[in-house]
Structure 1
Amino acid sequence: MRYQVGMGFRRDFADEFIDNEAFKPDFIELAPENWIGMGGYWKKKLDAVAGRYPVTCHGLSLSIGSPDDLDWTFLKQLKEFLKRYNVSIYSEHLSFAKADNAHLYDLLPIPFRDDAIKHIVKRIKMVQDYLERPLVLENVSYYTSVAAQMTEQEFVSRVVEESGCQLLLDVNNVYVNAFNHGYNAEEFISQLPLDKVAYIHMAGHDKVSDDLIIDTHGQAIIDPVYTLFEYTVKLLNKPVPVLLERDFNIPETQELIGEMERLKGIVKKIWEVEHVIES
């Protein structure tokens, strides 16, 4: 069984990926918008890292739920970038970030509605046809629902099943939403189309009050999220890549190594030991 645990590539600790022999994720993930058209010093850094690690991409500005037309200029640049760096997975957020041609600089929730599903499914199919690859969409954290006609689980499942896209299952986002909206995280995950999971994200969050936590990617993963991750992995019928996200408040490299090793230990236990015994 093959399993991989990767790390988000950030400029704050870019040299660690190149110079630190103890810091060796199985792959890296980056936001293509931050690198398309880049030249000079940072282009050389990217090329050096991409020459050492397989690359996945996690986008920020596709805005698949937006009422605006798709940005075909961006999609053309994106397609070239994915080809140039031999990107194995291109994922995005099941959200929107633009309206009336204004960039909102946030990932806003799409209403859990039939008309939204119809709109998004059409756009997903257009993107997949143009990029000639499946789009992998992430379940996002949200803090209020908007005119919902159905549950989040039903909405996510229908989008994936009706569009033919794949699912990036962000386990921390499930934990955050379950805490904030009062549902059972394990039950939510078990009802998703798990055969469509192509990728998993893991990250930390901030608890700001007794009844609110915020998805920040700025803290270490907490034990209950590791527990939910293990529960999730046991439900999958195949190993998928796992990505550790840390966007700011970057700790010492050894702490990041420790988190990756803990994730790898969980996946190894399930896919090399438990799976073999069961089969």
Structure 2
Amino acid sequence: MTDVQPDARGGRPPALGVSYEGRPRALLAALAPIVDVVEVLPDCLVGRDGRPHRALLDDLDELAPDVGLTYHGIGLSIGTTSGWNEDYLRLLDTMFAWRAPRWHSEHLGFTTVDGSFLGTMPALPPTHEALELVIARSRTMSAAYGRELMLEHVATPLARPGEMSLASFLNTLAAETGNRLLVDLHNLECDADNGLLDLDDFVGELDWSRVGEIHLAGGVWYDGRHLDVHSGPVADSTLDLLDVALAHATNLDLVLYEVLGEAVPGLGVDTVVDQVATLRQRVAP
């Protein structure tokens, strides 16, 4: 692993956040007083009518009225060649009308092909064609909503053939759009553990000055593969990687613990709170 260098941000710590999928309410009540940002997943708040559950928005207004928000989407399908998900954009319109976020983030993947939902999100290959498509759509999103659109690489258990390295793809994307990147450290570890990424090479090649947000999570191993199922505490190896990232990311504004809503009952609210406290000590010792 690349050696940690002195903090290039001049001692300015990034904000600390947590993801929230609308459940349980007790989690939001426990976290709102101790985090700077709540990252809301619009897809997880939506009802059958395609609009957010009003009660879930009311919970956020009641329990976290002064906490900053970011939106982290799943359903845009920015990499679908035939067109992205217009239903997701309508959902996003409703969310922006409710409360404007600091920024919006999405995944560098696709969830539909020929109008059919895949039930998963394959990663985009790092090709010039994919890069051109995503750059254009990223610019469109930023112009439409007046907010920075940060894009996150997607971990994949399969080989990712392409024409450039993942870091080069991300560097060019950020440079051409003017938007910063969202880097999920656990996703990087999954790709590295699955033999699909050299972590030292990635850390050395990525332009960390273009990283605006970092995610941390704990996943699972299944059938010899490390999967990015964000359902557990952050591993020590991921925290060590955070130290490296903090030393290099000069324009970082947010470090966030990401956990699936359905994982919270098994983990317990207290465990999630402890994870946030651990990150607080790591980010601003």
TM-score for the superposition, normalised by structure 2: 0.85
User: Which shows bigger deviation, 91-100 or 139-148?
Assistant: 139-148
In structure 2, which of residues 55, 69, 72 is the aligned counterpart of residue 41 of structure 1?
55
Asked if structure 2 preserves the Cα contact closer than 8 Å seen for 1:17 and 1:23, the reply is: no
| Aligned pairs (5 A) from 1:148-227 | 148-181=162-195, 183-209=197-223, 211-227=224-240
Distance 2:157 2:85 in 1: 27
Residue identity in the other structure for 1:192: L
Change in CA separation of 1:96 and 1:42 when aligned onto 2, cut-off 3 Å:
same
Asked if structure 2 preserves the Cα contact closer than 8 Å seen for 1:109 and 1:142, the reply is: yes
Distance 2:134 2:21 in 1: 30
Structure 2, unpaired ranges of 5+: 1-11
Distance 2:64 2:99 in 1: 7
Per-residue CA deviations over 1:236-258 (Å, capped at 9, x if unaligned) read 22442111111033212222122
Distance 1:145 1:267 in 2: 33
Distance 2:283 2:15 in 1: 9
Residue identity in the other structure for 1:236: A
Residue identity in the other structure for 2:253: V
Residue identity in the other structure for 1:242: V
In structure 1, which of residues 92, 112, 115 is the aligned counterpart of residue 106 of structure 2?
92
Following TM superposition, by how much is the alpha carbon of 1:123 offset from its aligned partner in structure 2, in angstroms?
1.6
Does 2:41 align with 1:31? yes
Aligned twin of 2:14? 3
Query: In structure 2, the residue corresponding to 1:47 is in which secondary structure?
Result: helix
Distance 2:84 2:22 in 1: 29
Aligned twin of 2:25? 14
Aligned twin of 1:274? none
Following TM superposition, by how much is the alpha carbon of 1:128 offset from its aligned partner in structure 2, in angstroms?
1.7
Asked if structure 1 preserves the Cα contact closer than 8 Å seen for 2:21 and 2:45, the reply is: no
Change in CA separation of 1:70 and 1:239 when aligned onto 2, cut-off 3 Å:
closer
In structure 1, which of residues 132, 138, 156 is the aligned counterpart of residue 152 of structure 2?
138
Residue identity in the other structure for 1:224: S
Distance 2:156 2:135 in 1: 20
Query: In structure 1, the residue corresponding to 2:71 is in which secondary structure?
Result: strand
Per-residue CA deviations over 1:185-210 (Å, capped at 9, x if unaligned) read 2431231121111111000011225x
| Aligned pairs (5 A) from 1:29-108 | 29-35=39-45, 37-72=51-86, 74-108=88-122
In structure 2, which of residues 216, 232, 244 is the aligned counterpart of residue 231 of structure 1?
244
Aligned twin of 1:123? 137
User: Which shows bigger deviation, 92-101 or 29-38?
Assistant: 29-38
Query: In structure 1, the residue corresponding to 2:221 is in which secondary structure?
Result: strand
Query: In structure 1, the residue corresponding to 2:284 is in which secondary structure?
Result: helix
Figure out how many residues of one structure are paired with residues of the other and give that number. Answer: 267
Query: In structure 2, the residue corresponding to 1:108 is in which secondary structure?
Result: coil
In structure 1, which of residues 267, 273, 277 is the aligned counterpart of residue 283 of structure 2?
267
Asked if structure 1 preserves the Cα contact closer than 8 Å seen for 2:212 and 2:251, the reply is: no
Change in CA separation of 1:44 and 1:136 when aligned onto 2, cut-off 3 Å:
same
Does 2:253 align with 1:240? yes
Asked if structure 2 preserves the Cα contact closer than 8 Å seen for 1:97 and 1:108, the reply is: yes
**Which structure carries more relative contact order (alpha carbon 8 Å, separation 6+)?**
2
Distance 2:82 2:118 in 1: 13
